[in-house]
Structure 1
Amino acid sequence: MSKFKQRGKSWSYHIYLGIDPLTKKRMEISKGGFKTKKEAQAAARLVEIEKQNGTLIKESRMSFEEFAKDWLKSYSRSGVKVSSVRAREKEMKHFISVWGPYPISKITKKMYQDRILDLFERYSQNYMDGIHACGRMIFRQAVELGLMKINPTENFRLPKKQQTVEELEKEEEEINFLEKEELAHFLKLAQSDGLEMDHLVFTVLSYTGLRIGELLALKWTDFNAKQATLRITKTIYNPTNNFEKYQLLTPKTVGSKRTIEIDDMLVKMLKKHEIKQKEIKLKNKPIYKDNGFIFARDDGHPQLRKVFETRLHRLLKKAEIHKNITPHSFRHTHASLMFEAGATIKEVMERLGHTDPKTTTVIYTHVTQSTKEKTSHQFSKLMKGLLH
Structure 2
Amino acid sequence: MWIEEIINSKGTRYKFCERFLVNNKKIKLSVTLNSKTAQAKRKATELLQAKLYDVLNKVEKKQLEKINSLTFIQVANEWLEYTSPTVKIDTRINHKNYVNRIKKVISNMLFVDFTPAVAEKIVSDMYYKEQLSYSYSNSTLIVIKAVMKYAKKSKYVQDISDFIDIRLKKRPATKKEVHKLQNKFLNADELKSCLHQLKEINPRIALAMEFIALTGLRCGEMLALRIQDYDKLNSVVNINGTLLKSARNGEDIQRGTPKNIYSYRDVIINDRAKNILDAIILENKRLASWNGKKYKDRGYIFTNSTGNPFNIQYINKKLRQIKIADKKISSHIFRHTHISMLSELGLSLKSIMQRVGHNDPKTTLSIYTHVTDNMNNEMKNKLKALNF
Range into which the TM-score falls when normalised by the shorter chain: 0.7 to 0.9
Query: One-letter code of the match for 1:127?
Result: Y
SS at match of 2:258: coil
Q: 1:109 to 1:328 in 2, by over 3 A?
A: closer
> Deviation of residue 295 (structure 1)?
0.9
SS at match of 1:260: strand
Q: 1:162 — aligned with what?
A: 171
Q: 1:367 to 1:279 in 2, by over 3 A?
A: same
Q: 2:364 — aligned with what?
A: 360
Q: Aligned partners of 1:68, 1:227: CA distance in 2, in Å?
A: 49
Q: Matched residues, percent identical?
A: 24
Question: Equivalent residues in 2 for 1:1-388 (5 A)?
Answer: 48=53, 58-59=63-64, 60-64=67-71, 65-76=73-84, 78-97=85-104, 101-105=108-112, 107-121=114-128, 122=130, 123-151=132-160, 153-166=162-175, 169-175=178-184, 177-184=185-192, 186-187=194-195, 193=200, 195-239=202-246, 242-245=248-251, 247-314=254-321, 316-317=322-323, 323-367=327-371, 370-376=374-380
SS at match of 2:331: coil
User: Is the CA contact (8 Å cut-off) linking 1:339 and 1:367 kept in structure 2?
Assistant: no
Q: 1:13 — aligned with what?
A: none
SS at match of 1:366: coil
User: Is the CA contact (8 Å cut-off) linking 1:284 and 1:299 kept in structure 2?
Assistant: no
> Deviation of residue 79 (structure 1)?
2.5
Q: Deviations over 1:296-335 (max 9, x none)?
A: 1222111222443344455x44xx7663332211112111
Q: Aligned partners of 2:316, 2:125: CA distance in 1, in Å?
A: 36
Q: Number of residues paired by the alignment? A: 339
> Deviation of residue 351 (structure 1)?
1.0
Q: Aligned partners of 1:334, 1:274: CA distance in 2, in Å?
A: 23
User: Is the CA contact (8 Å cut-off) linking 2:183 and 2:326 kept in structure 1?
Assistant: no
> Deviation of residue 126 (structure 1)?
1.7
Q: Aligned partners of 1:361, 1:92: CA distance in 2, in Å?
A: 31
Q: 1:33 — aligned with what?
A: none
> Deviation of residue 207 (structure 1)?
0.6
Query: One-letter code of the match for 1:350?
Result: Q
SS at match of 1:159: coil
> Deviation of residue 370 (structure 1)?
4.4
> Deviation of residue 133 (structure 1)?
1.6
User: Is the CA contact (8 Å cut-off) linking 2:22 and 2:56 kept in structure 1?
Assistant: no
User: Is the CA contact (8 Å cut-off) linking 2:239 and 2:265 kept in structure 1?
Assistant: yes
Q: 1:162 to 1:109 in 2, by over 3 A?
A: closer
RMSD between aligned alpha carbons?
3.9
Q: Aligned partners of 2:122, 2:272: CA distance in 1, in Å?
A: 55
Q: Aligned partners of 1:171, 1:134: CA distance in 2, in Å?
A: 27
Q: Deviations over 1:170-202 (max 9, x none)?
A: 342342x222244345556766x4644244213
Query: One-letter code of the match for 1:125?
Result: Y
TM-score, normalised by the number of residues in structure 2:
0.72
Q: Aligned partners of 1:364, 1:111: CA distance in 2, in Å?
A: 37
Q: 1:100 to 1:195 in 2, by over 3 A?
A: closer
User: Is the CA contact (8 Å cut-off) linking 1:234 and 1:249 kept in structure 2?
Assistant: yes
Q: Aligned partners of 1:301, 1:310: CA distance in 2, in Å?
A: 17
SS at match of 1:328: helix
User: Is the CA contact (8 Å cut-off) linking 2:242 and 2:257 kept in structure 1?
Assistant: yes
Q: Aligned partners of 1:105, 1:267: CA distance in 2, in Å?
A: 59
